Amino acid sequence: MGQQCFSLGCFDRDYLQRAPIAIVRDADQRLIAFASILPSYGHREEYSIDLMRHLGDAPGGTMDFLFVRLMQSAQAEGYHWFSLGMAPLSGVGDTPWARPAEQLARLAFEHGNRFYNYKGLKAFKDKWHPEWQSMYLAYPPDTRLSTLQLDIAALIAGGYRRILGHG
């Protein structure tokens, strides 16, 4: 699958070179996990994590350790909130009134781990007991499912050229 960007975090070296990065190294000084930090633009209200990744063989609890250290750092710097970011597709299509496209998105959340671990990410973030805020994608009710899926794929990939293999 191509590079995922929109609500899933995009691994873009140029972007990451401009962002503050928190890293975790093992005893051999090997980089095993990182998280990029979104700039606060001068205010000290919300400290936000953007992209986070860890090696598959990183010890259990590595990301927990990273988050705790980031929370401690944010608190010491005077921030009031710590944002865990989004949990894509959680809650979508979870009502009896959900449209077919929303029900399909729910299936991706429930069974799409082959492409992206939506449920695992939500479970990881849930253990911190966050105050979730809903985010919505608005679209006309008569939008064809294929058009909606293409638009979402373009958001995730970082543009239509990337999903078509030209970028």
Q: Tell me the whole-structure pTM to 2 decimals.
A: 0.69
Among candidates 84, 76, 80, which has minimal Cα distance to 128? 84
Alpha carbon distance 144, 138 (integer Å): 13
The predicted structure's pLDDT at residue 166: 57
Are 10 and 4 in contact by the 8 Å Cβ rule? The answer is yes
Percent of the chain scoring above 90 in pLDDT: 31
CA angle 130, 131, 132 (to 5 degrees): 100
Are 79 and 46 in contact by the 8 Å Cβ rule? The answer is yes
The predicted structure's pLDDT at residue 4: 46
Give all domains of the chain, ordered by start, each with its CATH number.
1-85 (3.40.630.30)
Going by pLDDT thresholds of 50, 70 and 90, the confidence category of residue 12 is: low
Burial (CB count <10 Å: 0-12, 13-18, 19+), residue 45: exposed
Is the confidence at residue 3, as pLDDT, over 50? Answer: no
Dump pLDDT digits (tens) for 88-130. Answer: 788 888 888 888 878 888 888 888 777 778 888 899 999 999 9
Strand-strand pairing, 46-54 and 81-83: parallel
Tokens describing residue 114: 């082959």
- Give residue 48's Cα distance to chain centre: 11
